[in-house]
């Protein structure tokens, strides 16, 4: 059973529910007031957006090489509407990504590799595979 075989939206939804049960994965106080990047006009409207972003980052880490904050800022960035001027691509908030990385490290799902970024741990891999198996059964 490979994580790549499961549809990403179903996997992220399942993982976000499980991350909500972990004590170390709580959104900070400022999470309900913060935008996810300068390109966004408003704060996220979903109640559990913190867990969805955390699950998405965890899935991205499971797919391959170590990833750092700057790479993920580009991945989660988007176009900013600038009125009559052409749209321009802007990166996402590094603070949100960094805080999620720190929480995932505290939970033992991710570890830091010096000079390369973060990598998923064996515990994190089994965590994702268990959820993928539950999703596949349904």
Question: Whole-number mean pLDDT of the chain?
Answer: 92
Whole-angstrom distance, CA of residue 77 vs CA of residue 94: 10
Q: How high is the pLDDT of residue 61? A: 94
Domain holding 44: CATH number? Answer: 1.10.10.10
What pTM value is reported for the model? 0.91
The pLDDT tens digits of the residues spanning 59-69 come to 999 998 899 99
- Whether the pLDDT of residue 85 is over 70: the answer is yes
Do 118 and 67 meet the contact criterion of CB atoms below 8 Å apart? yes
Block residue for tokens 């959820």: 131
What pairing do the DSSP bridges indicate for beta strands 78-82 and 85-90? antiparallel
Quick one: pLDDT band at residue 92, thresholds 50, 70, 90? very high
pLDDT of residue 133: 92
Mean local confidence (pLDDT), 54-81: 93
pLDDT classification of 53: cutoffs 50, 70, 90: very high
Secondary structure E strands in 57-102? 78-82, 85-90
The predicted pLDDT at position 5 comes to 87
CB atoms within 10 A of CB 86: 8
pLDDT digits (tens, 9 = 90+) for 30-49: 998 999 988 888 989 888 99
pLDDT at position 129 is: 93
Q: Would you tell me how many other CB atoms lie within 10 Å of the CB of residue 124? A: 20
Domain that holds residue 112: 3-137
Q: Into how many domains does the chain fold? A: 1
DSSP run (H or E) holding 10: helix 8-19
């Amino acid at each position: 059973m490979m994580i790549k075989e499961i549809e990403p939206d179903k996997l992220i939804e399942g993982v976000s529910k499980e991350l909500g049960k972990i004590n170390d994965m709580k959104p900070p106080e400022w999470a309900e007031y913060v935008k996810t990047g300068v390109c966004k006009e408003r704060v996220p409207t979903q109640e559990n957006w913190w867990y969805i972003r955390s699950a998405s980052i965890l899935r991205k880490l499971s797919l391959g090489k170590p990833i750092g904050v700057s790479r993920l800022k580009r991945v989660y960035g988007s176009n900013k509407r600038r009125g009559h001027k052409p749209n321009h691509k802007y990166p996402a908030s590094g603070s949100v990504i960094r805080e999620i990385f720190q929480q995932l490290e505290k939970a033992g799902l991710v570890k830091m590799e010096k000079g390369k970024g973060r990598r998923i741990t064996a515990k994190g891999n089994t965590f994702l595979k268990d959820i993928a198996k539950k999703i596949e059964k349904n």
